[in-house]
Structure formats: structure tokens, C-alpha cells
Amino acid sequence: MFVWPTYRQTLGEVIAGFEAAWVFFGGVFAVVIPDNMKTIVDKADATDAKLNDAFREYAQARGFAVDPTRIRSPRDKPRVERCVQYVRSNFFAGEDFRNLSDCRARAEQWCGQVAGMRIHGTTRCRPVEVFAAEELPQLKPVPNEVFDIPTWSRPKVAPDRHVQIARALYSVPGELIGRRLDARVDAHTVKLYWRGELIKVHPVVGPGAATPIPPTCPLRCRSMPCGI
């Protein structure tokens, strides 16, 4: 069992929790079965759930499959629900924490020294011992590189052949004026897609800046204002 206290369920917080879990367990699981939180699942479906684009990239980068639980199917996650009750009644039983970091550190300690060392009601074994013997050898190695969390959006191409992303302007081919593109942005790069095809790559520029329009663009386009 691993507990990662958090105030929010943003993509960054959820991925931080997964990263901490890989370190705690000593490896990456082959399959993750999440609830249908919006951070992970854009559209729930019993057989073909649509995952959040950024989280799908994270899963691919770490090498695990995502198999969300079915809506209104409590049998899919009874053990997890029982663990929630156990955490509430045992770990959060009147404890005081200085801050979130203190809470997380003590939760990790509790997971290893209390929850992991108890005699499990069903198996009659200590979870930490069963995990070390049967599951740990099956895990993929803990990743060394930091995952650069991307942001996806659907900007519209303006008449000046630019799309606006995070208050900056990025040029695109003129034939796409008026169309909505799929834009992927990470810490260094902006990638623009039209109907699944990569059409333009730009380095990230700051708010108020604009990438240049190629010289082949008609003069009237190049003379249009590019400021925000």
C-alpha cells in the first residue's frame, strides 16, 4: 500500500504521486487501474475509455497500461475502497501534521512500517514480505529521467496565420486559417497537429512574443500585427 496525501487532483499532482509510488515500491507496475478521475480519463467507457492526452503520454513514457474501472461497478475496486477506510481509521486517527510535506513523509513511513507489516486479514501474511517475494521481481525499473508534463489545447488559426498559446503567437501554414489545431506544449517545444498530422514545430517563446512567418507568406499576412 502507498498513500500520497494531496490537496488537489491536478495532472502535476497526480503524476507526482505516481513518481513517488515508483520509488516507494522500487519499480513501475505493468498495469494501473485508476478510478475515472478527470485528470486521467476524459471519457469513461466500459471497453474503450478515452484517456487524457498528457496522462496517456506519461503512461507510454513509463511503460505501463491504463485500465480504468467501470462506472457504477463497485466490484472493480472493493479492495481499494477497504484500504481507504483503513487509512482513515489508522493513519489519520487524530494525527497532527506540520504541513503537506510532513504528512507525506509520515504517510510513507506508516505504509512501510505499519500497513506493510500488519498481518493481512485475507492472506494471513505480511504484505511487505509477499510483495518482496512475488511482485517486486516483476516490476520495471524506476525511471531516472524526469517526465516533462505536456499541455494540450485546441487553438484556432487567426487570419494572420498564428495560433495563440499561453499568450504567445506561433505561425502555421496559411491554408489552415480558421481551423482548430491540436497543440502540444512542453517546457521547450510547441508541436502543432492538424487531423493527427504534425505540421509545425516551434521552440517555446515567452508571453507577448511571436514566431516569424516564413517569407513565402503573402505580404498582407506578414504585415499584420502579431502582438497580443
Alpha carbons within 13 angstroms on the beta-carbon side of residue 133 total 6
d(CA 187, CA 189) in angstroms, rounded, equals: 6
* pLDDT for residue 225: 41
Alpha carbons within 13 angstroms on the beta-carbon side of residue 207 total 2
pLDDT digits (tens, 9 = 90+) for 138-178: 999 999 999 999 999 999 999 999 999 999 999 998 899 99
* pLDDT for residue 73: 67
d(CA 40, CA 34) in angstroms, rounded, equals: 8
pLDDT digits (tens, 9 = 90+) for 17-68: 999 999 999 999 999 999 889 999 999 988 889 999 999 999 999 999 999 9
> Does the structure show a pLDDT above 90 at 186?
yes
Judged by phi (left if over 0) then psi (alpha if -120 to 50, else beta), residue 68 lies in: beta
Q: How are beta strands 65-66 and 197-203 bridged, if at all?
A: unpaired
DSSP string, 151-219: EEE-PBPPTTSEEEETTEEEE--GGGTT-B-EEEE-SSEEEEEETTEEEEEEE---TT-BPPPPTTS-H
DSSP state of 94: S
* pLDDT for residue 213: 75
> Does the structure show a pLDDT above 70 at 135?
yes
DSSP state of 75: G
